[in-house]
Amino acid sequence: MATCPSIPKDTVSVGVIYFTLSIVTVWIAPSFGRVALGCFESGPLSMQSWMYCALNRNYVTPELADVLMETAEEMERRYPGTTTLVLDANFPFFDGFPLLPHLSHDDGKKADLGFYYADASGYLPGAVRSPIGYFAFEQGPTHCQPTWPTLRWDFDALQSHWRDFGLEPERNRAVLEMLSNDPRVGRIFVEPHLVESLGAGSDRIGFQGCRAARHDDHIHVQLR
């Protein structure tokens, strides 16, 4: 009779050690000026995937945690039932250690938010087009030309496999306006064609450049 392959004991041991260290990290991170965004709470602000928590990519400064929570709460107040999703944030320790492939998520002051999506029935709470919230691009005009080296991946072969949702314009416009008007926020990165189509122009909303990752699949926000 066939038997299922067993999991190597070393693999189990490494997994247990990593899990234990991740739990301990929640208490150590404040010594480095960072706090963990909640991974299991239900509410207006939520991590998009357990993966970001498992990889310890859900840490921010207390100030950024306040900005994100207050923004999510205001979005839920204006639009009841709205869930604001956080994608990548930062690692728990040490400034200057980048959260690859992000080059700037290295000080606890940056985080990426998922867009708000809708289908024919209306707004879809907590929905994303791709499993991790990234790489499902909202196509539009750009002046960027193929160049190297670059992190501006198009992933053309993947685009037809994502869920067929559209941006919910009212909520996306509102969150960009809220963040732009928050004096604690320094910069927001979104592709220019989305800023134009959403009518959300602000001197704090900018273009990240042609060598950086595309920002028509998420919103990048950073403190001053």
Per residue in 92-110, pLDDT (tens digit) is 998 998 898 888 999 999 9
> Domain for residue 4, yes or no?
no
Confidence of residue 22 (pLDDT cuts 50, 70, 90): low
Confidence of residue 17 (pLDDT cuts 50, 70, 90): low
> Domain for residue 15, yes or no?
no
For residues 177 and 189, the answer to whether their CB atoms sit within 8 Å is: no
> Domain for residue 169, yes or no?
yes
> Domain for residue 65, yes or no?
yes
In angstroms, rounded to a whole number, what is the distance separating the alpha carbons of residues 88 and 90?
7
In angstroms, rounded to a whole number, what is the distance separating the alpha carbons of residues 89 and 162?
23
CATH code of the domain covering residue 113: 3.30.1380.10
> Domain for residue 201, yes or no?
yes
For residues 58 and 52, the answer to whether their CB atoms sit within 8 Å is: yes
**Distinct helix (H) and strand (E) counts, the chain:** 5, 11
Residue 15 has pLDDT above 50, yes or no: no
Share of the chain above pLDDT 90, in %: 77
In angstroms, rounded to a whole number, what is the distance separating the alpha carbons of residues 86 and 113?
5
Q: Which residues pair with 188 in a beta bridge?
A: 205, 221
The pair of three-digit structure tokens given for residue 138, joined into one six-digit string = 């909202």
Q: Greatest CA span in the chain, whole angstroms?
A: 68
Task: Identify the pLDDT of residue 201.
Answer: 85
> Domain for residue 206, yes or no?
yes
CA dihedral of 156, 157, 162, 164, whole degrees rounded to 10:
70
Task: Identify the pLDDT of residue 90.
Answer: 97
Task: Name, of 18-32, 41-55, 184-198, the range with top average pLDDT.
Answer: 184-198
Number of domains in the chain: 1
The pair of three-digit structure tokens given for residue 31, joined into one six-digit string = 């010594």
Which DSSP category does 91 fall into?
-
> Domain for residue 196, yes or no?
yes
In angstroms, rounded to a whole number, what is the distance separating the alpha carbons of residues 128 and 118?
9
Question: What is the DSSP annotation of 49-99?
Answer: -HHHHHTT--EE-HHHHHHHHHHHHHHHHHSTT--EEE---B-SS-TT---
The pair of three-digit structure tokens given for residue 216, joined into one six-digit string = 């028509």
SS3 166: strand
> Domain for residue 21, yes or no?
no
In angstroms, rounded to a whole number, what is the distance separating the alpha carbons of residues 58 and 55?
8
> Rounded to the nearest 5°, which phi and psi values hold at 34?
-135, 150
Residue 65 has pLDDT above 90, yes or no: yes
Q: Which residues pair with 219 in a beta bridge?
A: 113
Residue 23 has pLDDT above 90, yes or no: no
Query: Containing domain of residue 144, as a range?
Result: 32-223
Give the 3-state secondary structure percentages of the chain, helix then strand then coil, rounded to 5: 30, 15, 55
